[in-house]
Amino acid sequence: MERETFIPFSKEGPDAIEYLRGILRDARATTLDRLADLSQEELDWQYADGWNSIGALLSHFIANDHYFRILFVIGRRLTDPELDRWNPGQEMGAQLPKLLGTSLAELLTKMEESRSELMDSLEDVTPEYFTAQREGYNPDTGFNLAWALYHLAEDEVHHRGQISMLRKLYA
């Protein structure tokens, strides 16, 4: 089965944009619900060397919000300072030491800010821009902002499963 990276939403109204905004809101609300009562030790804990921590995964959500907002909604490359700031959360892995030690309160604030900035950036997106075909992801069909936002939500839901697994392994 081949992945579809181009979502052919109608250009006749904002319903499709609002639908994906709703998915992003719900994905984040459900993620936040799963973070209750995390200790700093649990945030930074790794099951094994090289594994992501819960805190690293939360940093990944924050970085993704910024990457997607800048690259796909605003439509520009990240600046060097933006890359320096968001790349550790985007890549994780070898960058993990830079992601440890951040408190849950700080991560939650950054998650709220990054998602708010993303949602605000979607306010002026036209149906044409939302569905415009772009190059990338799939050499045959390209992709569109509709799919990029779906992919952002999908990524968070996927990593939320990892967070649930890490919490169970920690316990």
Largest CA distance in the chain: 50
What pLDDT, in 10s, does the model give residues 71-87? Answer: 999 999 999 999 999 99
Burial of residue 120 (number of CB atoms within 10 Å: 0-12, 13-18, 19+): exposed
The pLDDT value given to residue 77: 97
Determine contact, residues 58/42, Cβ cutoff 8 Å.
no
Residue 9 in domain: no
Cβ-based neighbour number of residue 106 at 10 Å: 12
Count up the domains in the chain and report the number: 1
Residue 7 in domain: no
Q: For residue 62, what are the domain limits?
A: 15-170
Residue 69 in domain: yes
CATH number of the domain to which 114 belongs? 1.20.120.450
What pLDDT, in 10s, does the model give residues 17-64? Answer: 888 888 999 999 999 999 988 999 999 999 998 899 999 999 999 999
Burial of residue 165 (number of CB atoms within 10 Å: 0-12, 13-18, 19+): exposed
CA torsion sign for 32, 38, 97, 46 is: negative
Residue 58 in domain: yes
